[in-house]
Chains A and B, each alone.
Chain A
């Protein structure tokens, strides 16, 4: 199966990069975490719905770890708590936003995320405001890891999470409720006239997407060991949508391809052109939208076909 092969090659390439350039381990772990959140965004994009507030669930995952860390000293338990909290938040908000479509869906998500942003910023006694909360480095399987070994462990854990999440989401997207996402985009009423609740189709995907963003947020918090309200600021939500479009929605590889390319372009552009890196990111997206509307994954498929014709 080519998709599995693409993931295997991608994982090897990332591991190689991380081994050759130790400072990239951290960057790539963050990229994988972003990719998990974007995987959820991609599910919603299939239904034609753009959430401009999904950083909310990234922050819920990250802050859950920050709040739970004093009581919990285990990476896996902390991640499980992050996902659980994000799923609960996704259910609460999803019950409401799954009634809405298009611009209303996008803006309501934005509104919820900005409410949480102000709460995190203002409730200083609980969240330490814009200073954020430091997270003490937790143990993994009871072992306290230091420096590079912790980074490696987290990087490997992120790869495992990505592999599992991508495999499960890929299967879900081929199941009726997953296929119905794009059916919701093209003919929502026909779904209702077949006896299917379009709202439930969107709601289920929304809760899954919240859980994935929570997992991404959890990994981010464990990598940076510091959470701030910036995690839920609207620009971060926008960034997730940006990466989703950059990577493409054709399959589950897109979000991760998009996230890795995004982070690598960002760190290199920021190092080379400290004042213009945002412009470079903008030009990259402009190029993708104009020249490869199906994103990097679409570009990759085109290349594969071109290569197939030549061989």
Chain B
């Protein structure tokens, strides 16, 4: 294999550093941990969707053999939440429940069996409140409010941003398309059920081991709710058995189990059942979208007005950020000079939605890419060309003030077009078979941290000693994506040592410097840069000592093959361990640090904080479908996908991320949905999760998965470590629209809704036969009273990144900062 520019390890496939542990059963996930005197906790969960708690009778539970403690909401009155603007959750509900599954009481017992049995003996009396089941019901101002904060009634958030002169854009356009689409919610379904173990240390300190993607934010939530100094709480994230965004919030069970451990002075574990994992949720928001775009004859987008209405579920979670993400990244793939976006998020009595792989962007991406396909047909253009001819420019600033670096999208489209035989096959396959194309882009880390601060987003420390081994400390969390391997590889590459000589200590708030967490595809870029900086600093110290020893100038020293040697005379050198000893003799005990902070974004308007990233990855996909026009069943035999990753740290792990993303996108496209239903009136009439089990929540099996042909595009980005960009989220994004576009090629009907189900195709075909449009999808968009948009002149208009009417519309400050209006339970 060709070696990329002077790199030894980077770019070459290697066995992931945690690979052997994972194939031998050695990896210790949170539920694998046990401690002396450990007891077990279970949560009693609400059986009604929205109610005041009148009384809780735990007498029988307390008398149950083995039960030793009850944890009540009153012991943790302070609310928490991942975003500073929505601190609206309680570890255990105090006077109100907001969805079926909201915890109302904790029961601790000597065995898990006893705790579980006792939860069934708890009697809770509720006083029912109106159930809010949809965005429309949330907008109807006559119903009981789920929270006492938010923009109005059950509307959590409304936002409206306008860049450029959108209306004149529509007037100038040769074609204006207006579509309404719906993207159903779905969930992460990580194979590992969330678990947490809290271990008090007897001196007021406590350690929590948990399956979390964000130990730093869990640490902050524990401090806030338990009122213990942060320095007395240690959070260790165990390797996660899959996350996909579902373990990115601080969770009520993590706080409640720590409370219980402190109360009892002994270790307490909680492991959620699969049903409870469905209640934790934080999955994809169901989003209804209206998208109006003005096109020139050649397919260029002149203006776009996008409206998004998100069904947020019962709590804030990441929702404000999710809402902004439904608008933020529409501008980074194709040129779009004028753009108006209105977004809103509703509170409903369902499990809270949050960040799932792609966070807020798959829904509007679906809308954009489906509409582009329609525009291509209207204008007589090839759907691949309408994209290729209007790509956003590298090193440019978009209408909404995002700074784009490298763009490998052209190569991505060319690869999948060539690979799929698009030019020969598109529009020419027999009836029932079709091809569809779509593209996407994703962040390589959010440009801003979740809470306002000027500290680094990621930190790495190295400890080198005379053994020649290097210990690497970093707060990053391995969730299966391979971040441990990226961390070790960056250090090994710089120091020229073997991966085996590296010992990792990660995701431990006491022992490792902060890394903000495994979310927003931020780890490779941010941690990678921090690791390179720490390793370069170590290399510099070692170089000085070796230079003195060997009498070779520092600039001529090479670190490779576990040696440090003279580039002009490779025989002249020493083993890496010897080099470290020389440095330790010269400078004393060796340790270095590295850190990374994202560059400042040019946007200065309120809302500009969501969307900026140090770099953007790009993907393109062609999907082939076979549609049975009688049954409406869609089969996907093959997908061609290309992803611009900047540079592969480890190609085989990049392949795994691409393939896994395609798989998850396929699931979202044709089967996965988090749907709800009301129980019959004679029962409780409660709004319940339709499918809180793996059996009913359909996800693709080995037999459902299609063939995937993957192309990796490497166009190194100057902001990435060795040029690397993200790969964890981007490749999922083009799949859903490409499936719908392929269905149109196959049978000539438009399905403007995800997941595509057989009845939708049958109905659309029926409509078409009757002379109708041949479309299935939402007919209307909710009536949302948006305020006057914040008007931001674009870079092309000579703007400075600020809004011009912030005073008039009563919006102040930059980014997403705002003061919470406070919340009572």
Tell me if chain B binds chain A: no
